[in-house]
Chains A and B, each alone.
With several copies, the nearest count.
Chain A
Amino acid sequence: MDVALARSWIAAIAAAVAEQADYLTQLDSAIGDADHGVNLNRGFTAVVTALDTADPRTVAEVLVKTGTTLVSKVGGAAGPLYGTAFRAIGKALPADSSTVDAAELGVALRAGLAAVQKLGAAVPGDKTIVDAYGPAVAAFEEAADDGLPAAARAAAEAAAEGMRATTELHARKGRASYLGPRSVGHQDPGATSTWLIFQALADVAA
């Protein structure tokens, strides 16, 4: 992955989030407060502008800038979580090389997951971002030797599966947890946006 591909990834996320904003918001309406799509859309729109202005020189810079912008534009739970994730991913990458390979990205994605879990204290099965992100990173790592396109495809598929599996889960973190057992039967909005992020990576890496 070079800077151009990293920026394509972010642009693809922004496009997917814009397109799916209503869908994400409706998912959040069922078990949350109906703002997830709007929030991410506001955030990634700002990220695209910020990247245009900053014109980062390394993949690491692209991702740190993405994270920083998300933190300062999104708010809610998703802002700090995704913002911290992208910052951690960027910071885990080689600071000065203009390209990174699949293995390096795998390590960085794992660091992003760790940051999300450190901040939000969610474990697998809590019906959160982690339920899509966790399987996605594992699949990415496993397929890293086959190169970025294959690893990204595997990660997107695993994220999708994790996302779908959240439907049957009883939420223990985030707003959905307030619903108790009534959270069961609804797909988690955060897990859904996580899938969009990995699907965007698969699309641009293909």
Chain B
Amino acid sequence: MKKFINDPAAVVREALAGVAAAHPDLRVDIEQQIVVRADAPRAGKVGVLSGGGSGHEPLHGGFVGLGMLDAACPGEVFTSPVPDQILAATQAVDGGAGVVHIVKNYTGDVMNFQMAAELASDEGIEVQTVLVDDDVAVEDSTWTAGRRGTGATLIVEKVTGALAEAGASAAAVAAAGSRVNEQSASFAIALTACTTPAAGKPGFELPDDEMEVGVGIHGEPGRRREKLRPAREIAAMTVEAILGAKPLAAGTEAIVLVNGLGGTPLIELYLLYGEVAALLDKAGVQVARNLVGNYVTSLDMAGMSVTVCRADAEILRLWDAPVRTPALRWGV
């Protein structure tokens, strides 16, 4: 295993120490593993927080700040945070107006956040939960734990954060988050497996001429394995899967994310974005906003995901609202 680490068991805490050193404007509690906005809690403002396993950086800690998350609670690598930790973050951002939990749809995340919400409710904090399940590679059937939460999480966090910043109620913030989720679809393809510090070796072996199609962000193999194809065809598979699952009427505006899984360089992501944009254009979709980069990652996995979010005027307005976080910043 080739990583810039000291001890596999200490990676998350030591990375948090780096976050603390790099961003003095965030409050990082390394013991509790929570990252909180310096000005939280703000009386009367709905707190927005998210969390999940580590290994998806900049998600979620990189999105804490003005106009986005009030707190993040990163678990161990690929392991959802524990209820105590989520509760601590919830308390840290509760300004009396309720707290919105943004939860990616994984069994572990859902259960731990649910337990934390119960604990918070015992303490009189109103918690609303937005479940993100945008990954259309996983058919939502009795055969699975449901669709996974992936790239759309970023858009949900941006939109809910902006709405909370504007003073909306917890119910309104949560409703907007759920709407973004419902209007989003993602699909991912990997060229290599990632290596968790704990396992020390790649999760699977992929021959030089093959790719995993329909992967998640936890290093698991995808829905199927196929021969490696040119970027143009990969983009087409991806866009077809997305529009197949959540069709968009011609003329619809969308926010599009071409996201790297951690080990894919920007030059390839831009090349893919060019292909994706051309395909969406052909399908009559108007790309109103886009983001190209490594945002919702899977450690060092070489791979990419595409997220398309149907956007109305409200979503675009909230997307454009000022944001000041380590990984996403504009307007301020």
Q: Residues of A at under 8 Å CB distance from B? A: 25-26, 29-35, 37-39, 42, 71-81, 119-120, 170, 172-180, 182
Contacts and interface: CB of A to CB of B under 8 A. Distances in A.
B313 interface: no
Nearest to B51: A75
B332 interface: no
Contacts of A80: 83, 108, 111-112, 115
Contacts of B218: 32-33, 175
Main secondary structure of the interface of A (DSSP, over half): helix
A23 B231 CA distance: 27
Contacts, number: 127
B216 interface: yes
Contacts of A26: 199
A75 B221 CA distance: 22
Interface residues of B, number: 38
Main secondary structure of the interface of B (DSSP, over half): loop
B138 interface: yes
B88 to A, nearest CB: 11
A178 B220 contact: yes
Contacts of B108: 75-80
A178 B76 CA distance: 21
Interface string B136-151: 0110001111001000
A177 B84 CA distance: 28
A62 to B, nearest CB: 21
B129 interface: no
A80 B79 CA distance: 12
Interface string B188-221: 0000000010110101100000000000101111
Given A26-B199, A119-B111, A178 B82 contact: no
A172 B141 CA distance: 9
A33 B77 CA distance: 9
B80 interface: yes
Q: What 3 pairs between A and B have smallest CB-CB spacing? A: A33-B218, A80-B111, A76-B108
B62 interface: no
Contacts of A173: 107, 145
Q: Which of B80, B143, B148, B201 has the most CB of A within 10 A?
A: B143
B299 to A, nearest CB: 10
